[in-house]
Amino acid sequence: MDLLEYQGKQLFGKHGLEVSDGKAVTTVEDAVAAANEIGYPVVVKAQVLMGGRGKAGGVKLASNEDEAREHATNILGLDIKGHITRTLWIEHASDIETEYYASVLLDRSAKKPLVMFSTEGGIEIETVAEETPEKLIKQHVDPLVGLSKEQALDIATQGNADEDVREGVADALVALYTVWIEEDASLAEINPLIVTPDRQVKALDAKVSLDDNASFRHPDHAELGDKANLDPIEVKAAEQDVVYVKLDGNIGILGNGAGLVMSTLDVVAQAGGEPANFLDAGGGSDAAKVTQAVEIILSNENVKAVLFNIFGGITRCDEVANGLIAAFKSLKPTVPFVVRLDGTNDVEGRRILEEANLPNVQAAKTMNEAAEMVVAAAKGNS
């Protein structure tokens, strides 16, 4: 789960990172009241999970109450690359002398946390890595030991942070690592990490992604994220405990197992199609779960054809077949379906579908054949 900037900053402050005073608001009047309370100048920031807010007009400096009201009025409701601004973060403006970059993430290849630091803050870190890689310091952390102050100081020194703020940078790195560990984050990033004229080190921005698999340890995380901009189909799927991600294409995908579903997406794309979703029905899918999954897929009006790609293990192919029949009876879909069943009870599953003679349902023997068939069906139904 990705957090909005202000939510990330609240977690930063909770774990000792220095951040500017601010307040999250949802109305113009509350924005003005917050600005008056915090004290001018303030920055009015759109809270959306999308970069380029400044260029889109979503970040403005206000020097007085009239400007705060004007900016809040203009930014609330602003569409930034498909994300509607419903929340503003009103923050006391910071004087900036230097901009750094800092992050903690998981290096999956090394199976260790990775701390990154650069004095080239305020720009995309990919640009730094490509154009001036020597300015991006990377160090792994022993997860059994954690990030010590000594290692953090070494990172700040190697990164050529100004000598008089290296202690402050090291403290910020240790606090950022604490956020990453304690909040079960997959990414904790500050860009920029600023140095003020009075040599304070502060987080001016926050990008935090939390690991949903650890949500049971953090009941307080349930209210985080940009719920106002969540896709309603994804919300419905989450409520029904279905693993679903909406994509931009027109071919609905259902498989059992994340690896199989991802492979199916790739094969459909190679066949010239555009997947409309990722949906993992999981192991042990019965008729009710299959009906539920079909309903979620068809909730997307862009879907022109659907591919079922099932490899039976715990999931029995005859149960999937019965589920599809039940779905056709209750939902009466009008788009074509291509079904590939292989594995446990696949012969029985194919027999059940053949005898049911469902309209607009074709059987495929291989994944490649299924992909080609569903792409052709989607084109024919467009």
Q: Which residues are catalytic?
A: 101, 189
User: Is the CB of residue 243 less than 8 Å from the CB of residue 279?
Assistant: yes
Residue with tokens 């305020």, as numbered in its chain: 122
Instruction: Give the Cβ contact number of residue 109 at 10 Å.
Output: 7
Of the candidates 155, 55, 54, the one whose C-alpha atom is nearest the C-alpha of residue 103 is 155
Rounded CA separation 377/382 (Å)? 9
Q: Which pair of tokens denotes residue 122?
A: 């305020």
Alpha-carbon distances of 371 from 256, 313, 337, rounded to whole Å? 16, 21, 11
Residue for token pair 């029995």:
316
Among residues 77, 113, 91, which one has the least CA distance to residue 37? 91
Look at the block and give the residue holding tokens 């380029």: 52
Q: How far apart are CA 123 and CA 126, in angstroms?
A: 9
Task: Answer for the pair 56, 70: CB distance below 8 angstroms, yes or no.
Answer: no
Instruction: Yes or no: say if 308 and 377 are a contact pair by the CB < 8 Å rule.
Output: no
Classify each residue of 37-66 as buried b or exposed e, where b means 16 or more C-beta atoms within 10 Å of its C-beta: ebeebbbbbbbbbbeebeebebbbebeeee
Q: How many C-beta atoms lie closer than 10 Å to residue 8's C-beta?
A: 28
Nearest Cα neighbor of 284 from 249, 329, 320 is: 320
The token pair at 154 is 């070494």
DSSP E strands, 228-284: 243-246, 251-255, 277-280
